[in-house]
Structure 1
Amino acid sequence: MTKAKPGGAEGARWIDFDRATLAKAFPAEPFTYRHRLADHPLLQLDALAQLAAELPRDRLEYNSGRLQPDQRPEETPGIDLEPEAIVRQIETAGAWMVLKNVEALPAYRALIDAVLADAARAAGRDSLAGAGMIEPMGFIFVSSAHSVTPFHIDYEENFFVHLHGDKAMHVFDNRDRSIVDEAGLETYPGKHRNHRYSAAYEARGRVFRFGPGDGLFLPYTWPHWVETGEDWSISMAITWKSPADRRLNKLYFVNAVMRRLGLPQARPGARPWTDGLKVAAYTLARVPIEPLRRSEAMRRRLRGLIFGRKANYFYAKPGKKA
Structure 2
Amino acid sequence: MTGLDTARLTAWLDEQGLGAGAPLAITQLYGGAQNEIYELRRGEHHSVLRIPPATAPAERDRGILREWRITAALDGTDVPHARGIAVCPGPGVLGRAFYLMGHIDGWAPMDHRDGWPEPFEADPADLAYRLVEGVAQLTTVDWRARGLADLGKPDGFHDRQVQRWTGMFARIKGRELDGMDTATAWLNAHRPLDFVPGLMHGDYQWANVMFGHGGPARLAAIVDWEMGTIGDPKLDLAWALKDWPESTDDPGATAGHVGVHGMPGRDRLVARFAEVSGRQVDDFDYYLILARWKLAIVLEQGYQRAGDNPKLRAFGELVPKLMRDAAELAESTGYR
TM-score (norm. length: structure 1): 0.28
The answer to which structure, 1 or 2, has the higher relative contact order (CA under 8 A, 6+ apart) is 1
Bigger Rg, structure 1 or 2: 2
